[in-house]
Amino acid sequence: MAARTPESFSQKGLKIGIIGCGYVGLPLALRFAETGHHVWGFDTDPAKVEKLNRGESYIKHISAEQIAKHVHARSFSATTDFAKLRDMDAVLICVPTPLDERREPDLSYVEDTARSIAPHLQADQLIILESTTYPGTTEELVLPILEKGGLRCPLESEHGAKSSTGQFFLAFSPEREDPGNKHFGLAQIPKVVGGVNSASGKAAANLYGQVVAKVVPVSSTRAAEMAKLLENIFRCVNIALVNELKLLCQRMGVDVWEVIDSAATKPFGFMPFYPGPGLGGHCIPVDPYYLSWKAREYDFATRFIELAGEINTSMPYHVVDAVTRALNEQRKSLKGSRILVLGVAYKKDIDDLRESPSLKLMQLLQEGGALVEYNDPYFPALHKMRHYDYSKMKSVPLDLATLASFDCVLVATDHSSYDYDMIVASSKLVVDTRNATRRVSKHHGKVVHC
């Protein structure tokens, strides 16, 4: 491409670099490849890069055929060589933004990525941060690191000021991908875009306009960063609300699932959220704390976030109490009982166990002296994680004899592939945290909802 301008980012045939080929980056890379661009996936994990270049997938809902098609057509390839960034027209950053040991934002991946771009940054290249983060990250953290490469991206307030050096474009656009969602894929989900200056915002809006149905421009990177956090905090707070109401309903002898389903018939002003064994996934249990951390800089306490966090983190403890009481009814103690946890993924039908409440449940059950095993069709074996070591555990088969050999079967994730009639019929006791057994007609008095 000749000189890059905001308008030129609406052309086909651009060279797009995607940094971080995970749940967010890989589908994005394939979408750009599908729409007539040349895409390079940059990742620090050589095993992932090799797999991608062989046309293989490591994410269940992304097929190997999709990847292989673009590798063979040379519209997609992966690399660990960040020097190739200099050839890109646009570079999109999709690296992790977890919490550290003190539950504070860990921006080391974003910082490392900005540092690896800086020496290769070219004039009029467009850099977009997609990772979820607190308002201010793009301008306060990413911008100064990138500018160390010698080029500038003036803030809107400085725009028009004479600059002796070349300039680049910088924007933030949050990713809203919901892995495994069959109704809304990347192309259908509107994309919020905010630039460090208006030229950057336009460049990013033009680029995304080619791959998504709708672009929603906002006035700043901070507004775009905050919009993503609002979406996830909204979910976190509402899940906490139904989790708390579930505890009250149980005490009152009211079926919370019936209550939610009936309330959801209201055609306006209500959106159903469902209780569960605790929060899971990379986003909802993590992202709200990015805002509460940043809010402290402004002497501001984000009380809704803290309260929701308190309620949601107490849910696995509540489930273990329910298992203990249900065993007690059968004259058994938790200590020494054999418990089968069904589902370790954080939600149904996906191969992702990040922050999964099942991991906490297994830990609490083991601490109570239970002998714990698990089944999950998406995880034949478990591995060592940051907070847990289940490296010796393998998924047990889900047959009649195995189910009957456990004192309690705990439904933690409601995978669609489970045969709940068979599970209830064969088990001595079922504790159901997801209302997964609602269609089982013969409960035989063995199912406890919690």
- Per-residue contact flags (x/-) with ligand NAD for residues 262 to 301, judged by CB under 6 A: --------------------xx------------------
Smallest separation (angstroms) from ligand NAD to the CB of 110: 8
Neighbours of 329 (CB within 10 A): 10
Closest to 55 (Cα-Cα) out of 45, 41, 44: 41
| Amino acid in position 326 | A
Complex with ligand NAD: residue 175 or 414, whichever CB lies closer: 175
- Rounded CA-CA distance 338/147 in Å is 58
What is the Cα Rg of the chain in Å?
24
Smallest separation (angstroms) from ligand NAD to the CB of 230: 14
Please tell me whether residue 6 binds ligand NAD under the rule CB under 6 A.
Answer: no
Main-chain phi, psi angles of 393, to 5 degrees = -90, 140
- Per-residue contact flags (x/-) with ligand NAD for residues 128 to 147, judged by CB under 6 A: ---xx---------------
Which position has the token pair 């273990």? 320
Please tell me whether residue 236 binds ligand NAD under the rule CB under 6 A.
Answer: no
Give whole-number Cα distances, 402 to 109, 265, 427, in Å.
43, 40, 9
Residue of the chain from 95, 143, 233, 353 that contacts ligand NAD (CB under 6 A):
95
Complex with ligand NAD: residue 244 or 352, whichever CB lies closer: 352
Neighbours of 183 (CB within 10 A): 6
Please tell me whether residue 225 binds ligand NAD under the rule CB under 6 A.
Answer: no
Query: Contact at 8 Å (CB) between 33 and 14?
Result: no
- Structure tokens, 146: 């990138």
- Structure tokens, 270: 């209500």
For helices 25-34 and 64-72, the axis angle rounded to 10 degrees is 50
Contact segment (CB under 6 A) with ligand NAD among 92-100, 293-301, 363-371, 403-411 equals 92-100
Residue of the chain from 17, 20, 316, 343 that contacts ligand NAD (CB under 6 A):
20
Please tell me whether residue 22 binds ligand NAD under the rule CB under 6 A.
Answer: yes
Complex with ligand NAD: residue 22 or 377, whichever CB lies closer: 22
- Structure tokens, 281: 């996934």
Smallest separation (angstroms) from ligand NAD to the CB of 246: 25
The yes-or-no answer on residue 283 being catalytic is: yes
Smallest separation (angstroms) from ligand NAD to the CB of 71: 17
Smallest separation (angstroms) from ligand NAD to the CB of 352: 7
- Structure tokens, 289: 């704390």
Residue tagged active-site, from 21, 153, 283, 450? 283
Neighbours of 72 (CB within 10 A): 10
Please tell me whether residue 43 binds ligand NAD under the rule CB under 6 A.
Answer: yes
Please tell me whether residue 432 binds ligand NAD under the rule CB under 6 A.
Answer: no
Which distant-in-sequence residues (6+ apart) come within 8 Å of 408 by Cβ? 323, 326, 327, 337, 338, 339, 340, 427, 428, 429, 430, 431
Coil, helix or strand at residue 296: helix
The residue count for binding ligand NAD (CB under 6 A) is 26
Q: Which residues bind ligand NAD (CB under 6 A)?
A: 19-25, 42-45, 48, 94-97, 109, 112-113, 131-132, 175, 177, 179, 282-283
- Give catalytic residue positions: 283
